[in-house]
């Protein structure tokens, strides 16, 4: 089955007022991301709202991922703001799409602010978050903050999967 047929089936189900579960709609939006069909992903998200259908954090993240792939950084940041205003909890995929949006825009302050927001919540930045923030600083001509982020990454390397960077832990022989 190709992506256009899948979108047609989603539209037909909506037209016939059939219940389409959230995960099926999110999967369709993620397929749009894979195929570079950002407008279709946004249309699916918009249809959900117009039809009074429930959206979740993954719905916004999937649509933002499609926009990120298409270098539509303004749309990514708008979707993040919409998810936040809808009371959605922070979701790593959406936050990392926002980091990539700040990188595309070369706006290092936004990326650093986002890292700080993530630090203040239960959502911890991952390797993608830190890498995007470092690249954003470098592209924005600010090597100082990039060096600080790299230092933070090194001090947290054990969180990101490096076994040899765990503090005060003996390495088994």
Contact 44, 10 (CB under 8 A): yes
Least confident among 44-48, 109-113, 114-118, 123-127: 44-48
| Structure confidence by residue, pLDDT tens digits, 119-159 | 888 888 888 888 888 888 888 888 777 777 777 666 655 45
Least confident among 19-23, 68-72, 118-122, 162-166: 162-166
- Please give the biggest Cα pair distance in the chain: 64
How far apart (Å, rounded) are the C-alpha atoms in residues 108 and 114? 10
Q: Please provide the DSSP assignment of 105-123 as one string.
A: HT-HHHHHHHHHHHHTSS-
| Structure confidence by residue, pLDDT tens digits, 4-17 | 666 665 566 555 54
Q: Give the contacts of 77 (CB within 8 A, at least 6 positions apart).
A: 98, 101, 102, 110
CB atoms near residue 27 (< 10 Å): 15
How far apart (Å, rounded) are the C-alpha atoms in residues 101 and 166? 32
Could you tell me the two tokens for 116?
């700080």
Question: Does the pLDDT value for residue 39 go beyond 80?
Answer: yes
Could you tell me the two tokens for 81?
């703001």
The predicted model gives 104-124 an average pLDDT of 88
CB atoms near residue 125 (< 10 Å): 26
């Amino acid at each position: 089955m190709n992506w256009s047929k899948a979108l047609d089936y989603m539209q037909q189900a909506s037209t016939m007022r059939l219940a389409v579960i959230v995960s099926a709609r999110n999967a369709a939006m993620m397929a749009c991301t894979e195929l570079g069909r950002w407008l279709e992903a946004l249309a699916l998200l918009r249809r959900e709202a117009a039809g009074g259908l429930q959206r979740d954090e993954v719905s916004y993240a999937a649509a933002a991922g499609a926009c990120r792939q298409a270098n539509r950084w303004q749309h990514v940041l708008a979707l993040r703001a919409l998810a936040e205003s809808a009371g959605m909890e922070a979701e790593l995929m959406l936050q990392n799409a926002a980091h990539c949006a700040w990188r595309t825009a070369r706006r290092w302050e936004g990326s650093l602010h986002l890292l700080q927001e993530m630090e203040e919540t239960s959502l911890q930045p991952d390797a993608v978050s830190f890498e995007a923030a470092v690249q954003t600083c470098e592209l924005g001509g600010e090597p100082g903050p990039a060096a600080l982020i790299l230092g933070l990454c090194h001090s947290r390397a054990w969180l990101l999967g490096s076994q040899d960077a765990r503090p005060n832990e003996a390495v088994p022989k």
